Amino acid sequence: MSDNTVPAALPPAPDVIRAASAELIVTDLAAARSFYVDVLRLVVTEEDENAIYLRAFEDYLHHSLVLRKGPVAACAALSYRVRSEAELDVAETYYKALGVDVRRLPAGTKRGIGEIVQVQDPLGFPIEFFYGAEHVERFTQRYDVHGAGAIARLDHFNVVTPDIPAAQKYYEGLGFKVSEDIEDDEQTVYAAWMYRKSTVHDVALTGGDGPRMHHIAFSTNERHQILHICDQLGALRRSDAIERGPGRHGVSNAFYLYLRDPDGHRIEIYTQDYYTGDPDNPVIRWDVHDNQRRDWWGTPVVPSWYSEASTVLDLDGHPAELVERKDSSEAAVTIGADGFSYTRADETRSDGSAGPGSGRSGEVQGVKLGHQV
Ligand code: 4SX
Ligand code: CA
Ligand code: FE2
């Protein structure tokens, strides 16, 4: 965070419902259209020569993704829906108290969307809050147009930020709760998953130089739809769009696939995480050295997934200033020169030295690690 501390006494935070839409700047609108519409079959609500407004089959608000033509690939907005129009005033007062750039955009500034409160949040991201939105046809039962890889709705954002505990504290102030995280036994936190809706996350925080946008995730209802997207990309000789997966996440338990769009923006297709809506939903803490944390089958994470992410814009449309991560990086401690990881915590490592699980109880900061054997 640029100003590192959240003031002690803040006005009430806006009531966020969920991650609702994103805006990506793309350099070649036709190439982006081919990827998102012809391949992924997102539905075009509206388009012109500068922008395409897209939604998934279960979305009934005007759009969940905007592709806008621009000179440099970037993320221009991550949008959260708030519970009512009145929450926009709450958001304005809250972010003014946080001392960040806040703007109000009149209804219709963004097609199909009512009034927007736009902020550059304390982490440096361009965030929008809205309630009003035009309703459009919900294609839930239009199986005749779904195809075999039907994408149901937008699920979450994943953002890269240098200081995970500080970012977590900021999002807790906004009413988000942690479902899972990745840490080590030296109090370094590498990533955290946080939610408002009753799933594993609306936003995930990934440790690294930031602000950068790591990915936007859409969900399907079933795993086979993800497999079909892979088969289709192969058939189209576009398998180079597949960056990581398909696989089963450790964190979240969801089935996953990561794609890179023609501008390099990372899109995840994700399905079947679990319910988190009770107030005492247990937090799962993963050891960074657990080889199953990010892929339940132990499939290695490709280096690009850790290192590459999209530029984000400030509210004037300029690339946001990057802040370097000071803590160790997850890639360095797991796949770098000194990295190690284990499948069974209590066995010795392949080089014969004591495994990370030996001599300790599988506890991190007094909390039982998730899924340790
Ligand atoms: O790679 S992880 O298994 O940690 C993971 C990454 C879990 C859930 C996600 O949505 C994600 O992007
Ligand atoms: Ca460490
Ligand atoms: Fe994700």
Average pLDDT of every residue of the chain: 93
pLDDT of the residue at 132: 98
Atom of ligand 1 nearest to the CA of 295: 3
Half-sphere exposure of 92 (CA within 13 A, CB side): 12
Domain for residue 337, yes or no? no
Identify the DSSP state of 184. -
- What pLDDT does residue 366 have? 40
Residues lying with their CB under 5 A of ligand 3, a single-atom ion: 158, 217, 268
Residue keyed to tokens 């690009």: 304
Handedness of CA 112, 118, 121, 125 (dihedral sign): positive
Q: What is the CATH number of the domain that holds 157?
A: 3.10.180.10
Which residues hold their Cβ within 5 A of ligand 2, which is an ion?
184, 186
Is residue 240 one of the residues assigned to a domain? yes
**338 in a structural domain:** no
Paired tokens of 182: 């990745």
Q: Average the pLDDT over 46-54 and give the result.
A: 98
Is residue 352 over pLDDT 60? no
The reply to whether 3 falls in a domain is: no
Residue 326 lies in a domain: no
pLDDT value at position 337? Answer: 77
Residues 254-290 have pLDDT tens digits of 999 999 999 999 999 999 999 999 999 999 999 999 9
pLDDT at 55 (0 to 100): 98
Alpha carbon distance 208, 329 (integer Å): 7
DSSP track, 126-175: EEEEE--B-B----TT-HHHH-TT---EEEEEEEEES-HHHHHHHHHHTT
Compute the chain's Rg from CA coordinates.
Answer: 20
CA distance 356 to 342: 8
Establish if 361 belongs to a structural domain.
Answer: no
Please tell me the total count of domains within the chain: 1
280 CA distance to ligand 1 middle (Å): 22
| Residue 284 vs residues 188, 193, 224: alpha-carbon distances, Å | 16, 10, 27
Q: For residue 35, what are its two tokens?
A: 């990827």
Q: What is the largest CA-CA distance in the chain?
A: 64
pLDDT-based confidence at residue 345 (cuts at 50, 70, 90): confident
pTM of the predicted structure, to 2 decimals: 0.93
Retrieve residue 234's tokens: 């192969």
Q: Which residues contact 340 (CB under 8 A, 6 or more apart)?
A: 289, 334, 349, 356
Nearest CA to ligand 1 atom 3: 294
Which residue in 253, 269, 278 sits closest to 370, CA to CA?
253
Q: What is the pLDDT of residue 320?
A: 98
Q: Given the CA of residue 301, which atom of ligand 1 is nearest to it?
A: 1
Give CA–CA dist 291/284, Å, rounded: 15
- For the beta carbon of residue 72, count every other beta carbon within 10 angstroms: 12
pLDDT tens readout for residues 98-118: 999 999 999 999 999 999 999
Which pLDDT does position 41 carry in this prediction? 97
27 is in which domain, residue-wise? 16-311
Q: What residue has token string 């530029």?
A: 311
pLDDT of residue 3 exceeding 60: no
Res 8: pLDDT:
67
The lowest-confidence range among 22-31, 46-55, 336-345 is: 336-345
Q: What percent of the chain has pLDDT over 70?
A: 91
* Mean pLDDT, residues 333-356: 74
pLDDT at position 369: 55
Q: For CA atoms 286, 290, 293, 294, give the dihedral sign.
A: positive
Domain-embedded: residue 349: no
Mean per-residue pLDDT, 311-340 = 94
Q: Whose CA is nearest to atom 4 of ligand 1?
A: 294
Residue 140 included in any domain? yes
DSSP classification of residue 368: E
Nearest CA to ligand 1 atom 1: 294
**Helix and strand counts by DSSP (H, E) for the chain:** 7, 20
